[in-house]
Amino acid sequence: MLFRRLKTSGLAQHSYILECGDGLALVVDPRRDIDDYLRIARENALTITHVLDTHRQEDFVQGSAALAAATGAAIVAGTHESFGRADLRLRDGEAIDIGSTRVLAFETPGHTPESVSYAAYPRNAGGRCWGVFTGDALFVGETGRTDLTDPARTAENAGTLFDAIHDKIAPLGAQALLFPAHGAGSACGGAIADRDDSTLGIEQHTNPVFTRDRDGFVEHKLAEKLPRPPYFRHMEAVNLDAGRPQPSLSRIPSLQPGAFRGQAADACVIDTRAPDAFAGSHVPGSYNIWLDGLASFGGWFVHGDEPVLLVTDSASDVGTAALALARIGIDEVSGALAGGIEAWREDGQPIDFVATTSAVQAARWRDEGSATILDVRDARERAEGHIGGALHVYVGDLGQNLPAVGKGERLVVHCSVGHRSGIAASILRRHGYTNVHNLLGGMKAWEALGLPVERAS
């Protein structure tokens, strides 16, 4: 039996392809770029006949419609209207047979109202559940966030999710393998464990939905203070149609510095280089979102159909960057800087810079009272340990919540290691802060040196 987990870099998104017997296969929660599913099926002489959607995804463009168009497969979903497009709708507890594998659908709402989990029973599994595809209902070590549909109903949704997991998923048996739609680092859950493999038996000893009672679990979900990227609403609308075809990524023009500058005034310029490289010189007004962070953070700063221009380390990074953006529905990449920042400088174009600093220097400035420190991590990270006296604004909210300090005063911005603070430093420069320092190494360096840390009670 062939089984593959496909992990999407930057989104911590997981999709799956499973051979079901008789040369047939199903795919669960595919991403927009479908070539890998087609390649795996082709190399293993499989026909993809069903595409299973666990819920309407919030953080990426689904590939269900594209994969169905390419293969003739049926899109399978639950009966809730929030799924939008589906060719086959399964009621709670209803099963379908694909080859020699039976697939049962179970309604598991709470993360979203339409969430469905699918339990797989291969013919040679002795009548026991081999594995369950839980979408964002049950993760490894955690459950999906319950504030997405309505923050005011977070507690109610948490109780609904608790009941669904205990009533529908837990009875599948401790032996059942767990296959969620996201892993560690996803914006769809909190403290997801940093491992991909688990069973229901392991989760029953480690996951808060099993180790706490219902009231304790509800309190656990209420305590989650997770950022919600603004592009989530756009993804929900796009995915009513089971996603959209991927745009061509091979037609992004390479722009000479003068032409790039001419378009930059009406575009969002994203520089995907590392924070220390960006700090040395960059196109004025550009955002510094490192390459692997584009899928997670690009949607915070690109609005609607705003055109995007890219500055990359190398020409080969342009396609990677454009694909990361396309996965979250940002299709208007209108050009990339030919020759990178070196060509920009050599053409005599204007440059900007951001200062950098170390944990030792930042601590010295703080103790002297000669710098303000700004923490741009999320609330959970801050609660686990923060620098005393530091201001706190999450990086995604910074443009709308600028720090109340003089724009010429020394401002040291930090995250865990320096990437998100690189984004923050570029935002602050865009808003006229002239004495910004990115703390390279971030909180990790601060703690490694034994510098004082405060923790939430």
* Domain co-membership, 386 together with 270: no
Task: Give me the percent of the chain exceeding a pLDDT of 90.
Answer: 86
* Confidence at residue 234, expressed as pLDDT on a 0 to 100 scale: 86
Q: How do residues 183-206 score in pLDDT, each as one tens digit?
A: 998 888 888 999 999 999 999 999
Task: Give me the percent of the chain exceeding a pLDDT of 70.
Answer: 100
Q: Are 316 and 343 in contact (CB under 8 A)?
A: no
Determine the distance from the C-alpha atom of residue 323 to the mean position of all C-alpha atoms in its chain, rounded to a whole number: 14
* Confidence at residue 457, expressed as pLDDT on a 0 to 100 scale: 61
Please report whether residue 455 resides in a domain: no
* Confidence at residue 247, expressed as pLDDT on a 0 to 100 scale: 82
Q: Are 255 and 263 in contact (CB under 8 A)?
A: yes
- Distance between CA atoms of 291 and 78, rounded to whole angstroms? 36
Q: Are 334 and 242 in contact (CB under 8 A)?
A: no
* Domain co-membership, 322 together with 376: no
Report the CATH number at residue 126.
3.60.15.10
* Domain co-membership, 444 together with 305: no
Please report whether residue 192 resides in a domain: yes
Domain extent, residue 363, equals: 355-448
- Distance between CA atoms of 409 and 403, rounded to whole angstroms? 11
Cα angle 186-188-190, degrees, rounded to a multiple of 5: 75
* Domain co-membership, 338 together with 359: no
pTM: 0.90
* Domain co-membership, 274 together with 382: no
As for how many domains the chain has, the answer is 3
Residues linked to residue 353 through DSSP beta bridges, in sequence order: none
Cα angle 6-7-11, degrees, rounded to a multiple of 5: 145
* Strand, helix or coil for residue 450: coil
* Domain co-membership, 415 together with 332: no
* Confidence at residue 231, expressed as pLDDT on a 0 to 100 scale: 87
Burial (CB < 10 A; 0-12, 13-18, 19+), residue 45, is exposed
299 closest CA partner among 234, 383, 224, 348: 234
Radius of gyration of the chain (CA): 23
* Domain co-membership, 164 together with 293: no
Range 112-130 average pLDDT: 94
Range 290-303 average pLDDT: 93
441 closest CA partner among 409, 417, 414, 422: 417
- Asked if pLDDT for residue 1 goes beyond 90, the answer is no
* Domain co-membership, 106 together with 218: yes
Q: How do residues 340-368 score in pLDDT, each as one tens digit?
A: 999 999 999 999 999 999 999 999 999 99
Helices (H), 106-256: 154-164, 200-206, 208-211, 214-223, 232-238
Range 73-96 average pLDDT: 95
Q: Are 18 and 25 in contact (CB under 8 A)?
A: yes
Report the CATH number at residue 386.
3.40.250.10
Query: Which of 319, 343, 367 is at the close of a domain?
Result: 343
Please report whether residue 453 resides in a domain: no
How many CA atoms, within 13 angstroms, populate the side-chain half-sphere of residue 376? 29
Mean pLDDT of the chain: 95
Question: Which backbone phi and psi does 273 adopt, to 5 degrees?
Answer: -75, 170
* Confidence at residue 253, expressed as pLDDT on a 0 to 100 scale: 95
Q: How do residues 372-411 score in pLDDT, each as one tens digit?
A: 999 999 998 999 999 999 999 999 999 999 999 999 999 9
